[in-house]
Amino acid sequence: MESHPEFWINIGITYAKDPQTRDFVLSKFLDAPLGICLTVYCHIRPAFVNHGAMIRPILIHPDPRLKKLCEPVAEITSELRQLAGDMLETMYDAPGVGLAAPQVGVTKRLIVMDCIKDGPPEPMALFNPEVVWASEDLSTYEEGCLSIPEQYAEVRRPAEVTVRWTDLDGQVQERHFAGLWATCVQHEIDHLNGKLFIDYLGPLKRQMITRKMEKLKRERARE
């Protein structure tokens, strides 16, 4: 999920050099007129501290890989932990607040997200996430997507959800989400089912955005 423009600007990550530490430093440079530089310290699980993490290319809509139903993860392997680390690196660099594996061309049921706007980051990796409860109350949020850059539209979703998933250690977790977290986790789970936020829009708006993305891809191909 693409973060709204006022949330994040030019985020860069520097991981702690000591592999035993549970802390890494997220250096966030704001390309603002005042030249503000903000450094935020974050407490994070050792499995996320990945010195070999790399930024992966993000698929741009329309792409058939974004419409596929993703496969469940049977076992949390070192390769999948590497993928989770790469996805977090890619998400922060974009910048965004969520990213799903199919957006980097991997059809596995894995999402990462961090919806903290102010304060220490809270990166999460969720394997096989599923919504086990959703509120009847709905909320409307202006969503964006890293696979549909710089396009935003209001989407109505349950205001609160409870999600169950498997973590990096293979343990089953369950958590209640509300606000932006609830919107983001539902948005990313949609990706695992081949659904984009523009699929909630009317056909004319959806076609307009798709044409813009087709033009963007042609322009990038010529670069």
Instruction: Return the minimum-mean-pLDDT range out of 19-33, 63-77, 111-125, 135-149.
Output: 19-33
Band (pLDDT 50/70/90 cuts) for residue 21 is very low
Average pLDDT over residues 156-175: 98
130, 164 contact by CB (below 8 A): yes
Give me the domains of the chain, ranges plus CATH numbers. 11-222 (3.90.45.10)
**pTM of the full structure:** 0.80
Band (pLDDT 50/70/90 cuts) for residue 189 is very high
Instruction: Tell me the percentage of the chain whose pLDDT exceeds 70.
Output: 78
pLDDT of 203 above 80:
yes
Q: Which residue has the tokens 């076992």?
A: 75
**What is the reported pLDDT for 183?**
98
Average pLDDT over residues 10-39: 35
The single residue of 2, 6, 188, 219 carrying the catalytic annotation is: 188
pLDDT in tens, 49-80: 455 789 999 999 999 999 999 999 999 999 99
Annotation marks residue 214 as catalytic: no
Dig out the tokens for 172 from the structure. Answer: 């089953």
